[in-house]
Amino acid sequence: MTAPSAATTHKGDAIEVNVGLGDRAYDVVIGRGLLASLGERVARLRPGAKVVIVTDATVAKYHLAATQAALKGMSAEPVIVPAGESTKSFAMLDKVCGAVIGARIERGDLVVALGGGVVGDLAGFAASVVRRGVDFVQVPTTLLAQVDSSVGGKTGINTAHGKNLVGAFHQPILVIADTALLDTLPEREFRAGYAEVVKYGLLGDREFFEWLEVNWRDVFKGGPARGNTAAPREYAVRKSVEAKAEIVRRDERETGDRMLLNLGHTFGHAFEAAAGFSDRLLHGEAVGLGMALAFEFSARRGLIPQAEADRAIRHLAEVGLPTHIKDVPGTFALDTLMDLIAQDKKVTRGALTFILVRGIGASFVTRDVEAAEVRAFLAEKLS
């Protein structure tokens, strides 16, 4: 495997990946059974802090009691929001901000985001604006959140115009990626999260992609360690976090290299928004579909051999992710998709920005894609 640039250490059964952002650096701690250490780790970072735990109704049933127990001796009030992408809204932001203020959280206190990407984005955004910014800790409970959305400080909510169009960069002070929490995850949610794992291989690490081709079933099962090699699930999480941490270190505010992390997202976000941010198409499923379209579009432009694109798409399909528009229930309108793509965050002075590929593990950012070319490509796929 490619040697990581992110600083990684092993402390007992825990893997610690440092996100190197100077005086705002923080650790992503990976391993099984780490939730119990949350209180001790928080106390070291912010002695005497009060805590508000933001979580959703589904996660609360499984993990809220254990989280409160881990924070024993600390004031830790829960705020429970509905589960689902529709929770990333102005109404829920108002609710969470009100609850944090009502709990008398001050600048030296903490918000803990206990949940998947929706909770992390919402709680992190609330933390960024309450009292002009309070610290927060991410405790991601989904694979997608552990390998992607909990790391890097992007927070936000959705609007009728598109996904994550209102938000802020606000780095956590700690991420606890307890892989045991993934044991309660429905298979569909785990599969959706895997899209963000394989993304790291497809965008910049061919060797990791090839490892996933062989070992993805053990990542799903959570198989045991193999000799001196970490268990496949923990290894996949570590490799993903290392990749993201290194890109964030180089480009925190997404002005250059960090855009590569959006491989599949320009197409994917449009389909996700057109599906109403609903269970019809989960975020990771949208990313999987978007990556398949990005590889197909790259092949169409002569950037990558069709056989190479087919290999990437074949793996996405093998794990059960949608790779064709027909794999998603219902229909999509071409005009709606194009309007949403035109509203994408990566649009610059009206020019579309796409992440395309010259091979597996060789992505790049381009702004030379004409809307008419995208429209013709999607029209063909929709037909």
With beta carbons less than 8 A apart as the criterion, state whether 111 and 134 touch.
Answer: yes
Tokens of 372: 């008419």
DSSP structural state of residue 35: G
Question: How many residues make up the chain in this entry?
Answer: 383
Burial of 166 (0-12, 13-18, 19+ CB in 10 A): middle
DSSP per residue, 108-135: TSEEEEEESHHHHHHHHHHHHHGGG--E
> Hey, how many other C-beta atoms are within 10 angstroms of the C-beta on 226?
12
Count other Cβ atoms within 10 Å, centred on residue 308: 18
How would you classify the pairing of strands 154-159 and 76-81?
Answer: unpaired
CB atoms within 10 A of CB 68: 18
Q: Where are the alpha helices (DSSP H) in the chain?
A: 38-45, 57-59, 65-70, 90-102, 117-129, 143-144, 187-204, 206-221, 232-250, 265-274, 283-300, 306-318, 334-342, 371-382
For 295, the token pair is 């590889």
Contact assessment for residue 260 and residue 247, using Cβ atoms and an 8 Å cutoff: yes
Q: What are the residue numbers of the active site?
A: 132, 154, 196, 244, 254, 258, 262, 265, 269, 283
Return the bridge partners of 50, or none: none
DSSP reduced 3-state for 345: coil
Backbone angles phi, psi at 328, to 5 degrees: -100, 130
